[in-house]
Chain A
Amino acid sequence: MARGLGNITKMDPAELKMLKTRIDITTAIMVALIAILVVRLWHLQIRKGTEYAQLSENNRTRIQYIAAPRGNVLDRNGEIIIANRPLFNVVWIREDAPHPDEVLKQLAKILKLDISVLLDRIRAGADHPRYLPTRLKENIDWETLIAIENNAYRLPGVQVEVVPSRDYLYGEMASHLLGYLGEINQQELDANKDGTYMPGDLIGKGGIEKLFDRYLRGEKGQSFMEVDVRGFVQKRLKAQEAVPGNDLQLTVDIGLQEAAETAMGDRAGAVVAMEVNTGRILALTSLPALPLHEFSGGIPGNVWQQLLNDIKTPLINKPIQGQYPPGSTYKIVTALAGLSEKVITPDTTFFCSGSINFGNRSYGCWKKGGHGAVSLHRALAESCDVYFYQVGQKLGPDVIARYANSLGLGIKSGITLENEKAGNIPTTAWKLKRFKEPWQDGETFSIAIGQGFDLATPLQICRMTAAIANGGTLYRPQFIAAVKDSSGAFVSQFKPVVDGTSLGSPRTMQIIRDGLAGAVNEPHGTATTAKLENVIVAGKTGTAQVVRLAQYQATSESKVPYKYRDHAWFTCFAPFDKPQIVVTVLVEHGGHGGSAAAPVAKAVLTRYFEMHPPEVVPAEPAAPPATP
C-alpha cells in the first residue's frame, strides 16, 4: 500500500506554476478580506469607540433614585400630625425583563391578581423610559414581600421598591386640609417640566400635601449601581444622598381640631376656628372626613364612586367650598348697615306680631307668637326676623351688599387652599344681569335675614365674625405657621395679612357685640347652649332654609327627609371683652343653630379655654384695639 503511494504523479512545471499563481491570488484575496476586518475593527474601536464605550457604560450602570424623606406636618404646638413610614411597592423594570409573559404570569399568582391588571399598568407606563420602574402593585403586605424576595431569581424585571409613605397620626382628622399623596399622573408631569418630578413619583393630590409639595418633597438622592444583564445589582459605584423635605408647621391646634370633629360626630358640616386678631386658623374641619388611609397609593375606583354618591358630600371641602344661605347670622350685616346708615338707632323698636304683611304676602317670624316690641339688642339676641325685615326694607339690597362685602362676604377670603368659593351677595344690578328681571321688593325681606339669594361659606362667616369682634379688621385666613428645614431652621414664617377694614364705626361694632353676647347669655337668647361658666361668649345662631316645602311646614324636623332639612349655623367669639378666638359651625341639614351648631362651638371654646385659661392669657402683642 505504502509503496503504491510512493508513485504519486509529480506535477509538471507548467501546472505547478499555474497552481502557484492561484495560491498567490488566494493569498491576495485573504489579505484583502483580513484588511476589511482590520478596518472594521478600527471603525468600531477607534472611530466610534467612545460612542460604544458610552453604550456599554449605559448598559452596566443603573441610577437608583433614593426617595427623600418627605417633610412632617406639625400642628402649632409642634405635635406631629403626618409622619412617614415605609411602604413596599412592586415595580416593573422593562429593561430587565427578557421574558415578560412568563414572569408576569408568576407574579400575578404571587400577588393574587389577574394578569390583565398587571398588563394594564404596564401599558399605562409604556411611554416612560425602559429603565424607569412602573408600579404594578402598591402597599403589599409582609407575606407577599417575602414571596417576591424568595422568588427574585425567577422574576427578572420585578423589584420591590421601598417608599416612605404617609402616616396620619390623627387618622382622618383635618383630612381635607391635609390632603393626600398619589402617583403622579401625565398631566402633572406635563405641568412640571423642570425635572423635579419623574414618572412613578408620589405627589400631593390635595390640601397642603399638594399646595406645599415642593417644600415637603425634598430632593431625591441618586445611587449609581453596576448591574448585570438581568438587572441584578453587582456593586454600588457612587451615591448622592437625598435631601429631606421641609417640615410644615400649621397654625392649626390639633387639640381644637379634635374637639370640633368629636363634637360634630357623624354629622356633615364644617367647623372653622380662627384667631380674632391675626387670621390664623386654629381648626378647619370638613365632615365627613376623607378616608385618607384608603388613599395611600391610588384611590380604588369603588371608594371614589362611593364618595361621589354620598349625600353628605365628603368630596366638598365645606368650610371653603360649601355655599349656604347664611341665615340669621347675616342679621349682623343688616344690623351694622342699619346702624351705620342711621335707619335705626339702638333704641329703635319694631313690633313683632309673628309676621308682617307686605304687598299681598305675609312674611313670618320664626317665633310664630311674635316677639312683641323689640329693640336691636333683643332682635339680635332673640333673632327676630320681623325686626330685620323692616331694617332691610329701609336699607335696600345694594346698601346691605356694600356692608356685606366690607365684611368679606361675596368675595373670596384669599385662603390659599384650592377652589375656594366666593358665595353670593345679591344686588339689584346682579339680579338684572343674572335673571334679566328687576329686583322685587319682597326679595329684600329674604336677603335681610340671610335667605334667598344670599350664599356664604363657613370661612366667610367666620372671618366676618372676627372683623366684628376685633373692631373691623379683615385678616386673611392663613394656616401655615412656619416652614422649617430638617435642621429646624425657619425657611419661612407666618406674618398676618390685613385685607381691609369693614364699614361701621367701633361704637356700632360694640352695640352689635352686646347683642351677640345677649344671644348666648340672656335667658331668651337663641344660643344659650353655647354659654360657658368662666368666659363670656358672644354669638349668633342661624338656620339656613334648604327648601320651603308646604308639605313639611307643620311636621317636626326629624320627619323631614334628610336632604330637605335646614342647615344649622352658629358663629361666635370669646372672650366678649377681649376677643381671642372666633368659632363658626355649620351643621348640614342639622336643624336649628341653637340646638345643633352652638353646642359644637361650645365644645371647641371649652377646649380652647382649657388650654388658654382666661385669667393668664397675655394680650397678643399684634392685637389691634379690640374695643373702642
Chain B
Amino acid sequence: MLRFDRRLLQNVDWVLVGGVLLVTLMALLNLYSATRLNNAVGLSAFFKQLYFNLMGFGLILLIVMVDYKTLITLSYPLYILGLLMLVVAMVFGETVAGSQRWIDLGFFRLQPSEPAKLILVIMLASYYYRKDTGKGFTLGELFVPIILTLIPFVLILKQPDLGTALMCLFVFASMTLFVKLRWSTFGILAGAALAALPVIWKLLKPYQRQRIEIFLNPESDPLGSGYHITQSKIAVGSGLKFGKGYLHGTQGQLDFLPERHTDFAFSVWAEEWGFFGSLLFMACYFFVLLWGLNIAVTARDKFGMLLAFGIVALLFWQAFVNLAMIMGLLPVVGVPLPLFSYGGSSLLTNLAGIGLLINIRMRRFMVAT
C-alpha cells in the first residue's frame, strides 16, 4: 500500500508548491515583525512557527505518498478520531481566555477544532461520493451529512469558538450546494437555515452577541470590544499606498493592535506594506486558492473533485472571514488567516489540506497500479 511510484514525482504541482511556499514565507516575515517587540510572545513564536512549517512540509511529503482515495475508507475512523479529540478537549482541555480548546500533548498544544474542520471536509466528500445516485439528493438523504456536520459544530461551539464552528457550517453549505440537490431540498434547507438564525442567536454567549452588536455600531464602544476593529482599521488604513515600512508599523510595533500575530496578522502586513504590498499578498494568496479550484476541475474522479473543492472552500471561507473582519466588514469572530496567522494546529491542518491538493493533482492521470 505504501509503495510509491516514482513516476508520480513528475506530476508534482510545483506551481501550487511554489505559491504556498511564498505565502508561508511572507507569513514568517510578518510574524517576526509582529512579535519581535512583544514581551509576552517574543521570538519564540517565530521559531515555533518555523518548526511547524518544516513539520507541515514533512506532513505534505507523507500525505502525497498515499493515494488520496484511501481516505474514502478511512473517513469514518478519522471522523471518530476527530470527535474524540474534541470531546477530550472539552473534558480535560486547558482553558485559555475562557475557552476550552486545547489538548496539551507536552511538546505541543493541539487545538482539535482545526483538524476537525479538515476531517469534516474529508467525511463529507467521501459520503457524497459514495451516496451519489446522480438523481440529486433528497432531504432524507441529507439527514446523515447534516448530523455529521452538527456534531462537531456543537462541540466546537461549546468550547466556545464561534468562528471555527461557523466554518463547519460554511463548509457543509458549500459542499452540499456543489453536489446535485433537488430544488425542493434546496428550498427546505435554505428555509431551515433562516429559521435557525434566531435559535443560533440565543445559543451565543453574551460576549459573542456583544461582538456582533458592536460590529454593527463600532463607535458605541471604541475602547471596549469595538477596540479591536477600530485599531485594526486604523492599522490597515494608515498603511496608505506603500506602507510604513517593514518593522516600522506603529500600530503593530507599539501594541495598539491586539492579537496581531494570530487573528490580526494581516493588519500588521497591511500597515507595513501598504495597499500595493497588500495587493501583492492577496494576489499570491488567492492565486493558490483559485489554483486549488483548478485542481478540483482536473481531478481524476469525483471524490478527488469533491475533496479538492471542500479543501478550497474551507481555506477560502476562513481567509475571507478573516480579511473582512480585519477590514471592518464582519464582526470579530476569531477566525485565523490560514497559512498566515500564527498557530501550529491551524498551520499543520492547512498544510495537510495543501498536501491533499498536491496528492489529487499528482494522481489526475491514471497511473497503472
Residue B275, interface by CB 8 Å:
yes
Tell yes or no: A53 within 8 A of B by CB: yes
Return the CB mask of A1-33 against B: 1 if under 8 Å, else 0: 111011011111001001110110011001101
B137 to chain A, nearest CB (A): 14
Q: Are A55 and B234 in contact (CB under 8 A)?
A: yes
A52-B238 in contact given A38-B279, A229-B255 (Cβ < 8 Å): yes
Q: Using Cβ atoms and an 8 Å threshold, which residues of chain A touch B316?
A: 30
**Closest chain A residue, CB of each to CB of B231:** A59
Closest to B308 in A: A23
Q: Does B150 contact A (CB under 8 A)?
A: no
Chain A residues within an 8 Å CB radius of B10: none
Q: When A27-B293, A38-B279 are in contact, do A52 and B234 touch as well, CB less than 8 Å?
A: yes
Contacts known (A3-B369, A60-B254); A44 close to B180, Cβ less than 8 A: no
Q: Across the interface, which residues of B come within 8 angstroms of A227, CB to CB? A: 254
Chain B, Cβ-Cβ closest to A52: B237
Instruction: Report, as a range, how many residues of chain A touch the other chain.
Output: 35 or more
Which of B134, B289, B327 interacts with A44 by CB under 8 Å?
A: B327
Q: Does A507 contact B (CB under 8 A)?
A: no
Query: In the complex where A23-B293, A30-B293 touch, is A37 in contact with B238 (Cβ < 8 A)?
Result: no
Nearest chain B CB to A584's CB is how many angstroms away? 62
Stretch of B16-24, B65-73, B163-171, B183-191 at the chain-chain interface: B65-73
A37 CB contact (under 8 Å) in B241, B289, B302, B324: B324
Indicate if the CB atoms of A56 and B233 lie closer than 8 Å.
no
| Nearest chain B residue, comparing its CB with the CB of A33 | B320
Q: Mark B212-244, 1 if CB is under 8 A from A, else 0.
A: 000000000001000000010111111111000
Instruction: Report the separation of the CA atoms of residues A12 and B135 in the bound assembly, to the nearest whole angstrom.
Output: 13
Q: How far is the CA of A61 from the CA of B290 in the complex (A)?
A: 43
| Contact among B180, B274, B327 with A18 in the assembled complex (CB-CB below 8 Å) | B180
Q: Is the CB of B327 within 8 A of A41?
A: yes
Q: How far is the CA of A9 from the CA of B304 in the complex (A)?
A: 12
B303 in the interface, Cβ–Cβ < 8 Å?
yes
Instruction: Give complex CA distance A59, B237 in Å.
Output: 13
Q: Which residue of B lies closest to A24 (CB)?
A: B297
Contacts of A31 in B (CB 8 A): 290
Find out whether the CB atom of A19 lies under 8 angstroms from the CB atom of B320. no
Q: How far is the CA of A273 from the CA of B275 in the complex (A)?
A: 77
- Cα–Cα distance between A152 and B217 once the two chains are bound (Å): 35
- Given the known inter-chain contacts A2-B369, A18-B180, please indicate yes or no for A46 contacting B255, CB distance below 8 A: no
Do A48 and B237 touch across chains, with their CB atoms under 8 A apart? yes
Q: Which residue in chain A gives the minimum CB-CB distance to B69?
A: A5
List chain A residues, Cβ under 8 A from B320.
33-34, 37
- Asked whether, in the complex, the Cβ of B297 is within 8 Å of the Cβ of A23, the reply is yes
Q: Does B47 contact A (CB under 8 A)?
A: no
Residue A85 lies at the interface, judged by CB distance under 8 Å to chain B: no
| Bound CA span A224–B266, Å | 29
- Using A2-B1, A36-B329, A230-B255 as known contacts, say yes or no to A45 and B240 having CB atoms under 8 A apart: yes
Tell me if A51 is interfacial: C-beta within 8 Å of chain B: yes
Q: What residues on B are CB-neighbors of A18 within 8 Å?
A: 180
Complex interface bits, A221-234 against B, C-beta within 8 A gives 1, otherwise 0: 00000111110001
A5 CA / B366 CA spacing, docked (Å): 12
Using A2-B67, A10-B301 as known contacts, say yes or no to A59 and B256 having CB atoms under 8 A apart: yes
In the complex, the chain A residue whose C-beta lies closest to that of B277 is A45
Q: A228 and B255 in contact (CB under 8 A), knowing A37-B323, A46-B240, A59-B234?
A: yes
B: contact size bracket: 35 or more
Residues of A within 8 A of B180 (CB): 18
A42 within 8 A of B: yes
List B residues 117-153 near A (Cβ within 8 Å).
134
Bound-state Cα–Cα, A226 to B249, Å: 13
A33 → chain B, closest Cβ, in Å? 5
A506-529 interface code vs B (CB 8 A; 1 in, 0 out): 000000000000000000000000
Q: In the bound complex, how far is the Cα of B306 from the Cα of A23, in angstroms?
A: 11
Nearest-Cβ distance from residue A40 to partner chain B, whole angstroms: 5
Contacts of B223 in A (CB 8 A): 98
- Chain B residues near A15 (CB, 8 Å)? 134, 302
How long is the Cα–Cα vector from A41 to B70 in the complex, in angstroms? Answer: 42
B323 near A45: Cβ-Cβ < 8 Å? no
B101 to chain A, nearest CB (A): 24
Q: Which residues of A contact B369 (CB under 8 A)?
A: 2-3, 6
Interface positions, chain B 252-276, Cβ under 8 Å from A, are 254-256, 270-271, 274-275
**A55, closest chain B residue (CB):** B234
Tell me the bound Cα distance from A436 to B72 in angstroms: 116
- B residues in contact with A26, CB < 8 Å: 178, 293, 309
Interface presence of B208 (CB below 8 A) = no
In this assembly, does A369 line the interface, its C-beta being within 8 Å of a C-beta of chain B? no
Contact of B275 among A34, A42, A56 (CB under 8 A): A42
Q: How far is the CA of A60 from the CA of B290 in the complex (A)?
A: 39
A42 to chain B, nearest CB (A): 7
B275 to A45, Cβ gap below 8 A?
yes
Are A229 and B275 neighbours in the complex by a CB distance under 8 Å? Answer: no
- Asked if A49 is at the interface (CB within 8 A of a chain B CB), the reply is yes
| Any A CB within 8 A of the CB of B251 | yes
Is the beta-carbon distance between B286 and A228 smaller than 8 angstroms? no
Which residues of A in the span 569-600 have a Cβ within 8 Å of any Cβ on B?
none
B282–A45 touching, CB < 8 Å: no
Q: Is the CB of A56 within 8 A of B250?
A: yes
Q: Is B309 a contact partner of A23 (Cβ separation < 8 A)?
A: yes
- CA gap between A189 and B296 in the complex, in Å: 71
B237 in contact with A45 (CB, 8 Å): yes
A11 to B302, CA, bound (A): 7
Q: How far is the CA of A52 from the CA of B254 in the complex (A)?
A: 16
Q: Which residue of A lies closest to B243 (CB)?
A: A45
A33-B320, A44-B327, A59-B250 given as contacts; is B305 within 8 A of A19 (CB)?
yes
**CB of A226, distance to nearest CB on chain B (Å):** 7
Complex Cα gap A57–B250 (Å)? 8
Please determine whether A53 and B67 come into contact, CB atoms closer than 8 angstroms.
Answer: no
Instruction: For the complex of A and B, list the 5 residue pairs with the smallest distance between their C-beta atoms, beginning with the closest.
Output: A52-B237, A56-B238, A229-B255, A5-B69, A45-B275
Known: A30-B286, A57-B238. 14 other contacts (CB 8 A): A1-B73, A2-B369, A5-B67, A15-B134, A19-B178, A30-B293, A40-B324, A42-B275, A46-B275, A48-B237, A49-B238, A56-B237, A59-B231, A60-B254
27 residue pairs from A and B, CB less than 8 Å apart: A1-B1, A5-B69, A11-B302, A15-B134, A19-B305, A23-B309, A27-B290, A30-B289, A30-B290, A34-B320, A37-B282, A37-B327, A40-B327, A40-B328, A40-B329, A41-B278, A41-B279, A45-B241, A45-B270, A45-B278, A53-B240, A55-B234, A56-B234, A60-B251, A98-B223, A229-B256, A230-B255
User: B residues engaging A (CB < 8 A)?
Assistant: 1, 67, 69-70, 72-73, 134, 178, 180, 223, 231, 233-241, 250-251, 254-256, 270-271, 274-275, 278-279, 282, 286, 289-290, 293, 296-297, 301-303, 305, 309, 316, 320, 323-324, 327-329, 369
